[in-house]
Amino acid sequence: LSIELLTACQAIDLRKPLTTSCKLQKIIAKLREKVPFWSEDRLWALDLEKAYSVVLEMGAEYLNLIFTE
Protein backbone atom coordinates (compact mmCIF):
# COMPACT_ATOMS: atom_id res chain seq x y z
CA LEU A 1 0.00 0.00 0.00
CA SER A 2 2.89 2.36 0.71
CA ILE A 3 4.28 2.04 -2.81
CA GLU A 4 0.86 2.68 -4.33
CA LEU A 5 0.42 5.75 -2.13
CA LEU A 6 3.83 7.14 -3.08
CA THR A 7 3.44 6.60 -6.80
CA ALA A 8 -0.13 7.89 -6.91
CA CYS A 9 0.83 11.06 -5.05
CA GLN A 10 3.81 11.61 -7.32
CA ALA A 11 1.68 11.11 -10.42
CA ILE A 12 -0.99 13.52 -9.20
CA ASP A 13 1.64 16.13 -8.30
CA LEU A 14 3.19 15.80 -11.76
CA ARG A 15 -0.18 16.71 -13.30
CA LYS A 16 -0.33 20.12 -11.60
CA PRO A 17 -2.02 22.53 -12.06
CA LEU A 18 -4.74 19.89 -12.45
CA THR A 19 -6.12 18.70 -9.12
CA THR A 20 -7.86 15.67 -7.72
CA SER A 21 -10.75 15.25 -5.29
CA CYS A 22 -10.75 16.90 -1.87
CA LYS A 23 -10.51 13.47 -0.23
CA LEU A 24 -7.39 12.54 -2.13
CA GLN A 25 -5.88 15.98 -1.58
CA LYS A 26 -6.12 15.37 2.18
CA ILE A 27 -4.27 12.07 1.83
CA ILE A 28 -1.61 13.65 -0.37
CA ALA A 29 -1.13 16.45 2.15
CA LYS A 30 -0.63 13.89 4.94
CA LEU A 31 2.00 12.07 2.92
CA ARG A 32 3.76 15.26 1.82
CA GLU A 33 4.21 16.26 5.47
CA LYS A 34 6.76 13.43 5.67
CA VAL A 35 7.77 12.67 2.09
CA PRO A 36 8.56 15.56 -0.26
CA PHE A 37 7.91 15.57 -3.99
CA TRP A 38 10.59 13.72 -5.96
CA SER A 39 12.20 16.47 -7.99
CA GLU A 40 15.28 14.32 -8.66
CA ASP A 41 16.33 10.69 -8.40
CA ARG A 42 16.97 9.33 -4.91
CA LEU A 43 16.72 6.10 -2.97
CA TRP A 44 13.17 5.14 -2.09
CA ALA A 45 13.90 3.15 1.06
CA LEU A 46 13.47 6.06 3.49
CA ASP A 47 10.45 7.37 1.59
CA LEU A 48 8.82 3.93 1.74
CA GLU A 49 9.36 3.76 5.50
CA LYS A 50 7.86 7.23 5.94
CA ALA A 51 4.90 6.38 3.68
CA TYR A 52 4.33 3.20 5.66
CA SER A 53 4.22 5.23 8.87
CA VAL A 54 1.66 7.57 7.28
CA VAL A 55 -0.52 4.59 6.31
CA LEU A 56 -0.30 3.22 9.85
CA GLU A 57 -1.03 6.61 11.42
CA MET A 58 -4.03 7.25 9.22
CA GLY A 59 -5.47 3.75 9.71
CA ALA A 60 -9.25 3.98 9.87
CA GLU A 61 -9.15 7.68 8.98
CA TYR A 62 -7.63 6.72 5.61
CA LEU A 63 -10.37 4.19 4.91
CA ASN A 64 -13.07 6.63 5.97
CA LEU A 65 -11.70 9.26 3.58
CA ILE A 66 -11.72 6.80 0.70
CA PHE A 67 -15.03 5.03 1.26
CA THR A 68 -17.38 7.68 2.61
CA GLU A 69 -19.02 10.62 0.92
**pLDDT tens-digit profile of 46-64?**
999 999 999 888 877 766 7
**Which pLDDT tens digit goes with each residue over 8-45?**
999 999 999 999 988 889 889 999 999 999 999 899 89
What does pTM read for this prediction?
0.78
For CA atoms 41, 53, 5, 25, give the dihedral sign.
negative
8 Å CB contact between 25 and 65 = no
What pLDDT, on a 0 to 100 scale, did the predictor assign at position 61?
Answer: 73
What pLDDT, on a 0 to 100 scale, did the predictor assign at position 64?
Answer: 72
Distance CA 29, CA 20 (A): 12
